[in-house]
Amino acid sequence: MSLDRDTVARIAGLARIRVDADELDGLAGELNAILNWVEALNAVPTDGVEPMIAVGATRAPFRDDVVTEGDQADAVLKNAPDPVPPFFTVPKVIE
């Protein structure tokens, strides 16, 4: 598997990271180097092996249905870049 410019651009779009056109080739080269190296894994036989999705704790613990947090709009908004309290804001979205 080899990444081309278009794929890098698509992935960058998914990740919401701006990549300028003149960076695409260099980035594709770097990512390919890593991916080629990672492909050594294909040599490991894993037929019938269950994927490991959890380490340690074997089951999700349950929380009681109790309100323990809230009424802290000030704290929640304190670090916001462009707040109009009590709201966060972003550039206008058209649905």
Partner 1 sequence: MGQVIEGRDGPWEMVIGLETHAQVVSKAKLFSGASAEFGAAPNSHVGFLDAGMPGMLPVVNGVCVEAAVKTGIALNAAINLVSIFDRKNYFYPDLPLGYQISQFSDPIVGKGHLDIETEAGPKRIGITRLHLEQDAGKSLHDQDPLRTFIDLNRAGVGLMEIVSEPDIRSGEEAAAYVAKLREILEDLGVCDGNMEEGSLRCDVNLSLRRPGGPLGTRTEIKNINSIRFIRQAIACEAARQIEILEEGGKILQETRLFDPDIGETRAMRSKEESHDYRYFPDPDLPPLILDQTYVDQIRATMPEMRGDRRRRLERDNIPAANVEIITSSAKSMNYFTDMSENFEDKILASNIMVNEIMPRVFYRNSNPDIERLRPSEANTIINMISSGNISGRQAKEAFEFMWEEGKSAADVVAERGLAQMSDDGAIKALVDQVVAANPDKVAEYRSGKTKLIGFFVGQVMKASQGKANPQAVNALLMARLDA
Partner 2 sequence: MADLSELLALGIADARDGLRARRFTARELTSAYLAAMDEARALNLYITETPERALADADLADARLQAGHAEAMTGMPIALKDLFCTEGVRTTAASRILGDFMPPYESTVSGKLRAAGAVLLGKANQDEFAMGSSNITSAFGPSINPWRVTGAGVGEALTPGGSSGGSAAAVAAGAAIAATGTDTGGSIRQPAAYCGVVGLKPTYGRCSRWGVIAFASSLDQPGPIARSVEDAAIMLGAMAGHDPKDSTSAAQPVPDFEAALQGGVKGMCVGVPKDYRVDPMPPDVEAAWARGVEMAKAAGAEIVEVSLPMTKPALPTYYIVALAEASANLARYDGVRYGARQEGADLAEMYAATRAEGFGAEVRRRILIGTYVLSAGYYDAYYKKAQRVRALIAQDFSTAFQSVDVLLTPTAPGPAFGLNEKTEDPVAMYLNDVFTVPASLAGLPAMSVPIGLTASGLPLGLQVIGRPFDEASVLRLGRAIEDAAGFDRSPRLLAGGV
Closest CA to 25 of 45, 4, 39: 4
Q: Choose from partner 2, partner 1, none: what does 22 bind? Cβ within 5-8 Å by kind.
A: none
The site string for partner 2 over 41-80 (x = CB under 8 A, - otherwise) reads: xxxx-x--xxxxxxxxx--xx-x--------x--xx-xxx
Tell me the CA end-to-end span of the chain in Å, nearest whole number.
37
Does position 89 bind partner 1 by CB under 8 A? yes
62 Ramachandran zone, left/alpha/beta (phi>0; psi -120 to 50):
beta
Give the total of residues touching partner 2 (CB under 8 A).
52
Give the single-character DSSP code of 95. -
Among 21, 22, 40, 65, binds partner 2 (CB under 8 A): 40
For the segment 40-69, give every residue that binds partner 1 (CB under 8 A): 53-54, 56-69
